[in-house]
Amino acid sequence: MNEEERKIIPNENNLQAEIYKWFNNTYCLKSHNPRAIIFSIPNGGTRNIREAMTFKATGLLKGASDLVVIFPNGKLCFVELKTNTGTQKPEQKDFESRVSILGYEYHLIRSLDEFKLLTLKNLYLIK
């Protein structure tokens, strides 16, 4: 297996775990000052009817982004993760539109490297 093949992330869950681990360890530990915040929104997966009703009744929003990132400089980004061939569902496009109209950043990310670039831009470390 060559280096390029090792970088391939086979599914969105693996990509999300890799992004979370990198960002959390790089910007969110107690030793970081100020600390950033990254958290997921559990919109996917299968649930029984009772769980689905409870989630909906307590505010689960269909189409919400996979991650929310709050940078130390106060910038907030909504991040949707997709594989190289993944596409947004209509409710995800609607969420993107609503977030953008409200003036927040929404990003469709397909790799850890793409997320790292987004992070550097939001920390004003690169243009």
* Token duo for residue 95: 């969420």
Q: Which residues, other chains included, contact 79 with Cβ-Cβ below 8 Å and sequence gap of 6+?
A: 19, 65, 66, 67, 68, 69, 106, 107, 109, 115, 118
Q: Is residue 127 part of a domain?
A: no
Lowest mean pLDDT among 8-12, 93-97, 102-106: 8-12
Q: What is the DSSP letter of 125?
A: S
Give the whole-angstrom CA distance, residue 8 versus residue 85: 12
CATH of the domain at 70: 3.40.1350.10
Q: How far is CA 11 from the centre of its chain?
A: 14
Whether 29 shows a pLDDT value over 60: the answer reads: yes
Which structural domain range is residue 17 located in? 3-122
Whether 20 shows a pLDDT value over 90: the answer reads: yes
With H, G, I as helix, E, B as strand and everything else as coil, classify residue 37: strand
Please tell me the total count of domains within the chain.
1
